[in-house]
Amino acid sequence: MSYWPLIGIALVVLGFVLRLNPLLVVAASAIVTGCLGGLDLVEVIAALGKAFNDNRYISVTWIVLPVIGLLERYGLQQRARALIASVRGATMGRLLVLYLGLRQLTAALGMKDIGGHPQAVRPLVAPMAEAAAERRHGKLSPNERDRVRAMAAATDNVGLFFGEDIFFAIASILLIQGVFEAQGYPLAPLQLSVWAIPSAICAFLIHGGRLLAFDRSLARRRARLPESHA
């Protein structure tokens, strides 16, 4: 047994440490691994092409990225900011709680790709949350702006993670079912989905409370700001 093909793993780690282009790092590591495994270059390229063709449906989602890029170039984030700034009573906490509920609901119905960081959080949710926070609390510091963006990203993660398990045809439910069945506990996917509902409700209440508490903490810091400058 030859351990030379494992050099490909080391190349992946090294490439990520050096912050090189991930696509180039992975492609180069795959080619090196294949060549060290006894394949010639043509066979390696053919294997990569076959894998891409067999799983091309996975790559369809990447088609949306250039569209989002064009929308951002022509002012999508600015439009989102202007929209939320014109809504009276809109706050960062309320906006993200609303998105959390929407994300959980759509994920529970199997529509887990409606949201997401590249297609929803970066171009829409995060700019709208920033605009709502600035409208209520004034200009944000760089640290506060980063925290608002982090909260927007975390909201998407929590909503998806605890919402998708309610959908009985999701891969995670099928995996849990298989594990239980292997241990002698046959369960229907619907049974597992039902028991995911209490966790989703708790996640909504806990993270929703964190969002509202963060919004209030921004207000308190803004109230103390003149005193700190005095």
Q: What is the pLDDT of residues 43-98, one digit of tens each?
A: 888 887 787 666 555 555 566 667 777 777 777 778 877 877 777 778 899 999 99
Instruction: Please report, for residues 58, 193, 205, the alpha-carbon distance to residue 199 in angstroms, rounded to integers and kept in the order given.
Output: 29, 10, 10
Closest CA to 156 of 99, 81, 195: 99
What is the rounded CA–CA span in Å between residue 114 and residue 91?
A: 23
| C-beta separation of 204 from 229 below 8 A | no
CA-CA distances (angstroms) from residue 118 to 7, 66, 123, 155, 226?
32, 11, 7, 14, 37
pLDDT, mean over the chain: 84
Q: 48-57, 61-70, 138-147, 199-208: which has the highest mean pLDDT?
A: 199-208
- pLDDT tier for residue 37 given thresholds of 50, 70 and 90: confident
**Residue 64 in contact with residue 117, Cβ under 8 Å?**
no
State the amino acid at position 47 in one-letter form: A
